[in-house]
């Protein structure tokens, strides 16, 4: 995947420029404690974005990840309080995966456009969460469960370890397993993939299941981090997850992108939020500045020698 070279390079420059500016502007930015702080804040969107990367690579889109996360977060708390958190976690992961498989079912079997199928699921999972929680946060979770979201492994927060492990696994899966290679094939040209004997349907089921599963992991981390399950958790977070993926250079048209660059995308978004808070930028101006910085980072990141990819538009 040589062609992606410049994208890589550019985005790293954009990221470093941003980090450099923040280091200059705030004395605390480049401290270990703040960096870990940012990493922990990124971890939840990072988990969702990792799953979203699979879907986007397959030329799909999943906008239900935020709701799925909330549902799984409620399930881990509810089931956990009733039957213990091992079971709670398992139940949450199962629910997340099931939601993903349902998305896959509608996309594959009933040929519902992914945007619509997952939009419907966004509503269904959110409704299910509200019904399950009666619209109230589930709190009173035991200290032991809070480790997942708040604990440290040595100098690194546990959610960060979890996120990094997920990215490592996702990267290896996408690059070194047959399934991973099939994801690119299906996303690049579903027809040619089918002609090459790839079971495109199975691949699609799998990518949505992975997105659902990782959304559930995110939900568990979030519930643990907040020591409560918020039925309104993750409203609108799908935009952040997709933004991380696309910022990382993946094409919404499928077949192009890398999960490591998604991580970079998620980090850029996280650093941006952190920087705004550190610099105490007025909330009214934050959105403007964030938008401007994202554009700047991408424009810098896009710079490359002439005559490449000149037909790329949209997407």
Partner 1 sequence: MSLLQVTDVHKRFPGVHALKGVSFAMEAGEIHALMGENGAGKSTLLRILSGAEPPDAGEIRLDGRPVHFTHPRQAHEAGVRVIYQEFSLIPGLSVAENIVLADLPRRGWWVDGRRVRSLARAALERLGVDLPLDTPAGQLGVAQQQLVEIAKALHGEARLLIMDEPTASLTAQEIRNLFQVVRQLAAHGVGVIFVSHRLEEVMELADRVTVLRDGETVGTLRVKEASPEEVVRRMVGRAIGEFYPQRRARIGRTVLRVEGFGAPPVVTGLTFELREGEVLGLAGLVGAGRTETAEALFGLRPHAGAVWMRDIAREEWRRIPLRSPRDAIQAGIGYLPEDRKQSGLVLRLAVRDNMTHPTLERYLAAGFVRRGKEAAAVRERARALAVRTPSIDAVVENLSGGNQQKVVLGKWLEISPRVLILDEPTRGVDVGAKVEIYRLIQEMTEQGTAVILISSDIPELLALSDRLLVLRRGRLVAEIGREEATHERVLALCSQGVGA
Partner 2 sequence: GGGGAGGGSESGGQGGGKKQVTVGLALSTLNNPYFVTLRDGAQKAADAAGVKLIVADAGNDLSKQTSQIEDFITQKVDVIVVNPVDSDGIVPAVQKANDAHIPVIAVDRGVNGGKVATTIASDNVEAGKMAAEALFKALGGSGKVAELEGVPGASATRDRGKGFDQAVQANSGIQVVAKQTANFDRSQGLSVMENILQANPDLNGVFAENDEMALGALQAIKNAGKAVKVVGIDGTDDALKAIKAGDMVATVAQQPEWMGKTAVEDAVKLAQGGSIDQAFTAAPLTLIDASNVDQYLK
Q: Which residues bind partner 2 (CB under 8 A)?
A: 26, 28, 31-34, 36-37, 40-41, 44, 129-130, 133-137, 139-140, 146-147, 149-152, 155, 222, 225-228, 230-237, 273-274, 276-280, 282-284, 286
58 interface partner picked from partner 2, a copy of itself, partner 1, none, CB below 5 to 8 A per type: a copy of itself
Closest CA to 245 of 230, 234, 260: 260
Give the pairing type, strands 228-229 and 138-139: antiparallel
State both tokens at 270. Answer: 């996280």
Size, binding site for a copy of itself by CB under 8 A: 67
167 binds partner 1 (CB under 8 A): no
In angstroms, give the least distance from the CB of 88 to partner 2: 17
**Cβ-based nearer residue to partner 1, 66 or 180:** 180
Handedness of CA 115, 199, 53, 216 (dihedral sign): positive
3-state secondary structure of 311: coil
107 touching a copy of itself, by CB under 8 A: yes
Chain-centroid distance, C-alpha 58:
15
Q: Tell me which of partner 1, a copy of itself, partner 2, none is bound by residue 197, counting a contact when its beta carbon lies within the kind-specific cut-off of 5 to 8 angstroms.
A: partner 1
* 181 is an interface residue for partner 1 by CB under 8 A: yes
Provide, rounded to whole angstroms, the least separation between the CB of residue 193 and a copy of itself: 9
Residue 219 or 240: the one with the smaller Cβ distance to a copy of itself is: 240
- The answer to whether the CB of 99 falls within 8 A of the CB of 42 is no
CA 62/CA 116 separation, integer angstroms: 9
Report whether 208 contacts 237 (CB < 8 A): no
Asked if 165 touches partner 1 (CB under 8 A), the answer is no
Q: Residue 21 binds what, of partner 2, a copy of itself, partner 1, none (CB under 5 to 8 Å, by partner type)? A: none
Whole-angstrom CA distances from 117 to 126, 143, 178, 183, 194 are 14, 38, 27, 19, 23
**What are the structure tokens assigned to 208, written together?**
């949505």
> Pick from 33, 280, 282, 307: which binds partner 1 (CB under 8 A)?
307
49 closest CA partner among 283, 177, 273, 237: 237
In 3D space, the residue among 15, 125, 150, 140 whose CA is nearest the CA of residue 72 turns out to be 125
3: contact with a copy of itself by CB under 8 A: no
Which of helix, strand or coil describes residue 9?
Answer: helix
Question: Does residue number 108 form part of the binding site for a copy of itself (CB under 8 A)?
Answer: yes
Q: Is the dihedral of CA 112, 118, 119, 125 positive or negative?
A: positive
Q: Could you give the string, one character per residue 222-261, with x where binding to partner 1 holds by CB under 8 A and - elsewhere?
A: ---------------------------------xx-----
Q: Which helix (H) or strand (E) holds 138?
A: strand 138-139
Identify the residue whose tokens are 């939601």. Answer: 99
> Closer to partner 1 at the Cβ: 212 or 255?
255
Binder of residue 98, out of partner 2, a copy of itself, partner 1, none (CB less than 5 to 8 A by kind) = none
What is the binding site for a copy of itself (CB under 8 A)? Answer: 58-61, 63, 106-108, 110-117, 119-124, 126-128, 130-131, 134-135, 186-187, 190-191, 194, 200, 204, 236, 239, 242-243, 246-247, 251-254, 283-292, 294-295, 298-299, 302, 309, 311-315
């Amino acid at each position: 995947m040589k062609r992606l070279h410049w994208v890589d390079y550019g985005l790293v420059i954009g990221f470093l420029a941003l980090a450099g500016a923040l280091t200059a502007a705030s004395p605390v930015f480049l401290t270990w404690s703040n960096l870990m702080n940012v990493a922990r804040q990124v971890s939840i969107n990072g988990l969702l974005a990792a799953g979203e990367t699979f879907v986007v690579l397959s030329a799909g889109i999943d906008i239900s990840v935020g709701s799925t996360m909330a549902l799984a977060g409620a399930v881990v708390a509810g089931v956990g309080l009733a039957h213990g958190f091992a079971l709670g976690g398992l139940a949450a992961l199962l629910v997340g995966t099931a939601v993903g498989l349902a998305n896959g079912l509608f996309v594959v079997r009933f040929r519902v456009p992914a945007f619509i199928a997952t939009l419907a699921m966004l509503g269904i999972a959110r409704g299910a969460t509200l019904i399950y929680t009666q619209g109230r946060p589930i709190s009173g979770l035991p200290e032991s469960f809070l480790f997942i979201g708040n604990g440290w492994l040595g100098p690194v927060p546990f959610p960060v370890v979890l996120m990094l492990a997920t990215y490592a696994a996702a990267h290896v899966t996408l690059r070194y397993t047959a399934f991973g290679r099939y994801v690119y094939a299906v996303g690049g040209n579903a027809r040619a993939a089918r002609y090459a004997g790839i079971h495109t349907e199975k691949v699609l089921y799998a990518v949505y299941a992975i997105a659902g599963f990782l959304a559930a992991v995110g939900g568990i981390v979030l519930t643990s981090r907040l020591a409560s399950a918020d039925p309104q958790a993750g409203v609108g977070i799908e935009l952040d997850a997709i933004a991380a993926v696309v910022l990382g250079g993946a094409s919404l048209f499928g077949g192009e992108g890398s999960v490591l660059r998604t991580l970079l995308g998620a980090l850029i978004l996280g650093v941006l939020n952190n920087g705004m808070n550190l610099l105490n930028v007025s909330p009214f101006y934050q959105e403007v500045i964030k938008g401007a910085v994202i554009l700047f980072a991408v424009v810098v990141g896009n710079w490359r020698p002439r005559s490449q990819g000149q037909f790329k538009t949209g997407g």
